[in-house]
Structure 1
Amino acid sequence: MTIPAHVQVLLKRLREKFTPEKLREQMAACDAPFRTLRPVRDATEKSVLRYWERLIGPASHIDRDLIADTASLAAAKSYSGNIENYIGTVKVPVGVIGPLRVNGINAARDYHIPLATTEAALVASYGRGAYAATKAGGISTAVLYEGVIRTPAFTFDNILSAGLFVEWVVTNIKALRSAAESTTQHGKLSSVEPVIDNNVVFLICRYTTGDASGQNMVTIATHALCEKIVADCTVPIDRWYIEGNFSGDKKASALGLMTGRGRKVSASVILPAAIIEKTLGTTTQEMLAYGRIADLGAKLSGQMGAQAHYANGLAALYIATGQDAACVAESAIGFTRMEARGDDLFCSVTMPNILVGTVGGGTGLASQSAGLNILGLKGTGNGAALAEVTAALCLCGEISIVAAIAAGDFTRAHQSLARLR
C-alpha cells in the first residue's frame, strides 16, 4: 500500500515537533479545576464589564474598548433578545452597490444594496454585475414557492405501527393544523408530508411565515403539533424528536434542492453583446465557453446544483440586514444558467432555499435596520421582495465572476483590490 504524500508530510512534521511520550501526555484527559462563566441573558453594562474582568489578558483593555465601546455598552439591553453572554459588538465593514434594477413580481424598482464583508474585491465584483444588469434593463424576478419546513421524527416498535401512525396523522390533520397555528399570528401550516423508514416516521411540516424568516416560528408551531399528536394519538409512540435532521436546516440537502426550504426564487436577465464587451471586458462566446467548463466541474465534484459563488453575496447581505447568517449553508444552492440568445447572453439563477425576513430576528437591531432601510424593505409586507432582491444580487455575482475568469481578469482583480491594495 502506498502512503499518500500529504500524509507522509504531516507525519514528518509531527515527528520533528513531538515525541510519542510528549504527545500522549499532552493529549491525556485533564481534570484541572475551572470556573465557568456565569450565564447572562438580560445584559447590562455591569454584566458586560464583569465578563471583561474575566477575559483580562494581554491588550485586553484595548480589545474591550473596541468590542465593548460606549455605544455597545449603552445598547446592552437591546441586544439581549438576540444573544446570550453579551460582551459587545464586532464591526464588519459595510459597502454598498447599485442601483440594481429589479423588475420582479414583488420587487420592482432600483435598489441600493448594503453588503457586509471583510473580503476585498467582493463589493466591486457584485457592483460590476449590478451595473451590467441594470444597463441591460434590469433583472426579472419571481418567487416561485414558499415553505419553511421542520421535520419531527417519531419512532415505533415496528413498521406496522409506523403505518398506522401515518394513517392517524392524515385522518387528524385538521386538529394538528389548528394546534400548530395557535402559536403564531402569521405562520400557516400548508402541508404535512409523512416519510417512513421502517419503524421511524418523519413528518415534513411546511409553513408559510409571512415576512419573517420563520425559523423559530416553525419550531414552536411544530412543537405544539407534536404535543397534540402525543396527547391524542391512538398508536403507541416510542420516542419523538422536534427535528429529525431531515429538513435541511442550516445545511445543503437534496430535499432542499428539489422542494425548497424558505422561498424559491428565479431571476434572469439578457445581456446584450455590446454591454458584455464594454462593461465586462469579454464576449458572449467566451462567457459561454467558461460556463461549460464550470458546469462540468460542478457535476464532477458532486455540487448541490451548479453555481459559482452564491455564498459570497448571501453572507454579505445576510450580515448587513440581520438575517441568520448560518442559513447561508442551505441558501447557497441552486442552478445558474447561461445560454446564447443570438449574439446576446441569457443569464439566470434559480435558488430554492432563500431564507430571509424583514421582521423578527436580527432585523430589529439598529445597524441591521439601517441596512434594510437602505434597501427600502424594512418591516411588514417586504419579505418576498427581499427574497427577489437576494436572488438578483446572486445573479450579479455569477455574471461578474464568470466574466472575470473568462477574460483572465480574476487573479488581477484580487491582486489589485485585495493583496496589493
Structure 2
Amino acid sequence: MSDDLVTPIPTRWVGPLKLSGDVEGEQSVPLATYESPLWPSVGRGARISRLVDDGIRISVVDERMTRSSLFVAPSAAAAVAASRALSDRFDDLAAVVAAQSRHAKLIDLDTEIVGHLLFVRFALTTGDASGHNMVTLAAQSLMETILTWRPELEYGSISGNYCSDKKATAVNGILGRGRSVVAEMLIPSDLVDAQLRTSATRMVELNVRKNLVGSTVAGALRSANAHYANMLLAFYLATGQDAANIVEGSQGITYAEQRGEGDLLFSCTLPNLIVGTVGNGKDLPGVDQAIERLGCRDLEESGAGARRLAGLIAATVLCGELSLLAAQTNPGELMQSHVLMERRAGGRA
C-alpha cells in the first residue's frame, strides 16, 4: 500500500464578490473547508457587496518578504559597529541580490542587537511568489558576503526568528511581511437591517466589546478580529498556499464605525498575507485552475497576480467577518445557523 495519499477537502466557489480600488470587478472565490457553514456565511457578505455601489474597496498597502539572519559578534560593541556598517553598504547588499535573481529585490534591512548577537532582517520584493525560498537563498548569499566583509563575525543561523515565519509576533505587523491589505465597505442602513438583521450601532458596540476589548483581555498580539483564520485557511488550501502561514496571516484588526443615519463602515486590515501565484503547490490541477479562474495569472506587471490574490483574500475575509459578527448581535442566531446548515449537509450534531 502506497504512503502517498490524497486528502479530500470539500471546495465550493462562493460569490461573486463586487470589488473596487486595487482590485476591480466581480469575482467568485474558492473555499476549501470541512466547516460547511462558512460558504453561506461568506456568501451573505458577498451578496451585500453586490448591493453596494462600489462594493468592497481594496487597498494594497505594501508587499515584502523577509528573512532574518543571525550573526555572532565577539562583543556588543562589535555587533553595533557591524550593524552600522551594513546600513552604510545597503546598495552593495542590494547588488548581491540583484546578481542572483531577476525577481528578488532587496528593499530594506533592519537590525536588532541582543548582547553580542546581531539579528539582520532582510526585506525583499519577490514578484508573484510568496517568496519563502527566494528570501532564504538571498539571505544565504548576503550572509556569505557579509562574513567576508566582517571577518570578526561568525555564522549564527540563516534564520534567526526575527523574520518572523509562521509565528504570531509583533514585528511582522510593525515592519511588514507578505502583502498588507485593507478591505472596507460602506453599507447603507437599509441593507444593514434587511441583509444583516442588525444595526450599525449594535455592530460597532459588539466590535468594541468583543474584538477590541475581548482580544485585549485575552492577550492577543496585534490582532482584534472574530475569525480571520477560517476564511484564510479555506482560501489558502484552495489556491495552494502554505497553510501554516495563517498563523501570522490571521493577525489583523476589524474596525466598525457608524456613518450618517445608521450606515455601517466596516473594514478588515490584514498586514501579513503571505501568498503567491507561482511556486510549490501551484501546479496541481485544481490549484492551477483556481488561480487561473481568479484572474491571477499572466498579468503584465511582476507581482500583479499575487497582489490581486491578496486583495481577493482580504475581501473574502471581510465577507465572513461581517456575516459572523452580525449573527452574534442576535441571541441564538449563530448556533441555530450552524445546526440547520450542518444537519442539512448530513453532518451529526
Shorter chain as normaliser: what TM range?
over 0.9
Alignment correspondent of 1:264: 180
- Bigger RCO (CA 8 Å, 6+ sep): 2
1:403 deviation in Å?
0.4
After superposition, the Cα gap between the structure-2 partners of 1:186 and 1:239, relative to the gap in structure 1 and judged at 3 Å, is: closer
Instruction: State how 1:302-313 maps to structure 2 within 5 Å.
Output: 302-304=219-221, 305-313=223-231
Q: Deviation above 3 Å: which 4+ runs of structure 1?
A: none
Alignment correspondent of 1:57: none
Alignment correspondent of 1:365: 284
1:119 aligned onto 2:42: no
Alignment correspondent of 1:387: 310
1:379 deviation in Å?
4.2
Letter of the structure 1 residue corresponding to residue 113 of structure 2: I
Q: Which secondary structure does the structure 2 equivalent of 1:363 belong to?
A: coil
Alignment correspondent of 2:339: 415
Higher mean C-alpha displacement, 318-327 vs 127-136: 127-136
1:374 deviation in Å?
2.6
1:226 deviation in Å?
0.5
CA distance, structure 1, for counterparts of residue 344 and residue 284 of structure 2: 35
1:101 aligned onto 2:25: no
> Would you say how many aligned residue pairs link Structure 1 and Structure 2?
336
Say if 1:339 and 1:346, in contact at 8 Å, map to a contact too: yes
Greater share of strand residues, 1 or 2? 2
CA distance, structure 1, for counterparts of residue 208 and residue 156 of structure 2: 46
Say if 2:207 and 2:254, in contact at 8 Å, map to a contact too: no
Runs of 5+ in structure 2 lacking a partner?
A: none
Say if 1:259 and 1:352, in contact at 8 Å, map to a contact too: no
Higher mean C-alpha displacement, 369-378 vs 111-120: 369-378
1:249 is aligned, of 165, 185, 200, to 165
Alignment correspondent of 2:272: 353
CA distance, structure 2, for counterparts of residue 282 and residue 170 of structure 1: 53
1:398 aligned onto 2:321: yes
1:251 deviation in Å?
1.2
CA distance, structure 1, for counterparts of residue 344 and residue 59 of structure 2: 40
2:58 is aligned, of 101, 124, 141, to 141
1:147 deviation in Å?
1.3
CA distance, structure 2, for counterparts of residue 167 and residue 289 of structure 1: 48
Alignment correspondent of 2:87: 170
CA distance, structure 2, for counterparts of residue 415 and residue 288 of structure 1: 27
Q: CA RMSD in A?
A: 1.5
CA distance, structure 1, for counterparts of residue 97 and residue 305 of structure 2: 24
Say if 1:212 and 1:356, in contact at 8 Å, map to a contact too: yes
Instruction: State how 1:202-213 maps to structure 2 within 5 Å.
Output: 202-213=119-130
Deviations 1:366-416 (CA, angstroms, capped at 9, x unpaired): 110111123222344311111111111111111101101112311111111
CA distance, structure 2, for counterparts of residue 184 and residue 93 of structure 1: 38
Alignment correspondent of 1:275: 191
2:244 is aligned, of 310, 317, 326, to 326
| Rg larger in structure | 1
Letter of the structure 1 residue corresponding to residue 68 of structure 2: T
Q: Which secondary structure does the structure 1 equivalent of 2:147 belong to?
A: helix
Letter of the structure 2 residue corresponding to residue 417 of structure 1: M
Q: Which secondary structure does the structure 2 equivalent of 1:264 belong to?
A: strand
1:341 aligned onto 2:259: yes
CA distance, structure 1, for counterparts of residue 91 and residue 292 of structure 2: 40
For normalisation by structure 2, the TM-score amounts to 0.92
Say if 2:147 and 2:154, in contact at 8 Å, map to a contact too: no
1:187 deviation in Å?
0.9
Letter of the structure 2 residue corresponding to residue 345 of structure 1: L
CA distance, structure 2, for counterparts of residue 269 and residue 420 of structure 1: 31
CA distance, structure 1, for counterparts of residue 40 and residue 101 of structure 2: 41
Runs of 5+ in structure 1 lacking a partner?
A: 1-48, 53-86
1:232 aligned onto 2:156: no
For normalisation by structure 1, the TM-score amounts to 0.77
Deviations 1:93-145 (CA, angstroms, capped at 9, x unpaired): 1011111011022x111011000001120111111111112212300111111
CA distance, structure 2, for counterparts of residue 249 and residue 276 of structure 1: 38
CA distance, structure 1, for counterparts of residue 194 and residue 63 of structure 2: 38
Letter of the structure 1 residue corresponding to residue 130 of structure 2: S
Letter of the structure 2 residue corresponding to residue 189 of structure 1: L
Deviations 1:293-322 (CA, angstroms, capped at 9, x unpaired): 212101111112211111001000000011
